[in-house]
Amino acid sequence: MEELSRVVLITGASRGIGRAIALRLAEQGHRIAVNYNSHKEDAEKVLEEINKLGASGIIVKANVSVLDEVQEMIKTVENSLGNIEILYNNAGIISDSLLMRMKPEDFDKVIDTNLKGTFYCTKLCINNMIKNRWGRVINISSVVGIRGNIGQSNYSASKAGIHSFTKSVAKEVATRNITVNVIAPGYVSTATTNVLSEKVKKEVMSWIPMQRFGEPEEIAPIAAFLSREEARYITGEIIRVDGGMAI
């Protein structure tokens, strides 16, 4: 089935999984808004790669935890590319610490970016999807939102919150030909995991039956599929891509 060229917003798309998704969708000819917060040069490089693949797009700066910035981002995308038809809530941060040492502000900033940012972006994109009776929302979560993780009570809570948020919104918009799904990656080779010590990496590897970290390019095909017309009967799902970590 031939797919239409759609307007896509990917938050946190300057590196890692977001970048891989952007390039995968560029291969399909979509018009892509590459959101970044603090890595402008990386975002510009992603846009260059998108253009080399024959697709068009823009870069747009916004901190997804700040409502005013999200509103401005949505306006910029709509004015430049058109109404957003496919949304990837990928932006996320970590601020790890054992609970007894965790500062309230470290809990708040992770919840604000990961969970509230997903709420803001989805809320501001969903109205046009409802009007047009078509849309895709794909939320990038984490396997720790399912199984938890020592030192990540804030991060795990934010990702578990995304799971329930996804299921609720999926029910609300199901009759409007809009699907809302989650991809929950395991440990993926990105800037976040590359800084882990060899001791921590070895411990993490013992949790993964495949005995390796994933690659962003292994997440992107699943993310791309969920945006397609072929995936129209899949909604409210949490799809793990984790090498068996949460079995």
For the segment 92-103, the average pLDDT, to the nearest whole number, is: 95
For the segment 145-156, the average pLDDT, to the nearest whole number, is: 95
Burial of 2 (0-12, 13-18, 19+ CB in 10 A): exposed
At 56 the pLDDT is 97
CATH top-level class of 7-186+216-241? alpha beta
* pTM score, whole prediction: 0.96
Answer whether 24's CB lies under 8 Å from 223's CB: yes
Q: How far apart are CA 132 and CA 85, in angstroms?
A: 9
| DSSP classification of residue 188 | B
Whether residue 2 has pLDDT greater than 80: no
For the segment 192-202, the average pLDDT, to the nearest whole number, is: 76
What is the rounded (10 degree) CA torsion for 97, 220, 12, 239? -50
Percentage of the chain with pLDDT > 70?
Answer: 99
Name 86's bridge partners.
Answer: 8, 136
Answer whether 107's CB lies under 8 Å from 154's CB: yes
Residues 6+ apart with CB under 8 A from 206: none
Whether residue 7 has pLDDT greater than 70: yes
Q: Where are the beta strands (DSSP E) in the chain?
A: 7-10, 31-36, 57-61, 86-89, 135-140, 178-185, 238-241
Residues that are catalytic: 155
CA atoms within 13 A on the CB side of 156: 14
Q: How far apart are CA 207 and CA 243, in angstroms?
A: 9
At 1 the pLDDT is 59
For the segment 177-199, the average pLDDT, to the nearest whole number, is: 87
Name 138's bridge partners.
Answer: 88, 181
pLDDT one-digit tens code per residue, 71-83: 999 999 999 999 9
Residues 6+ apart with CB under 8 A from 183: 138, 139, 140, 141, 219, 222, 223, 226, 239, 241
pLDDT one-digit tens code per residue, 14-63: 999 999 999 999 999 999 999 999 999 999 999 999 999 999 999 999 99
Q: What share of the chain is helix, strand, coil (3-state, %, to 5)?
A: 50, 15, 35
Q: How confident is the model at residue 203 (pLDDT cuts 50, 70, 90)?
A: confident
Q: Smallest Cα–Cα separation from 190: which of 90, 40, 72?
A: 90
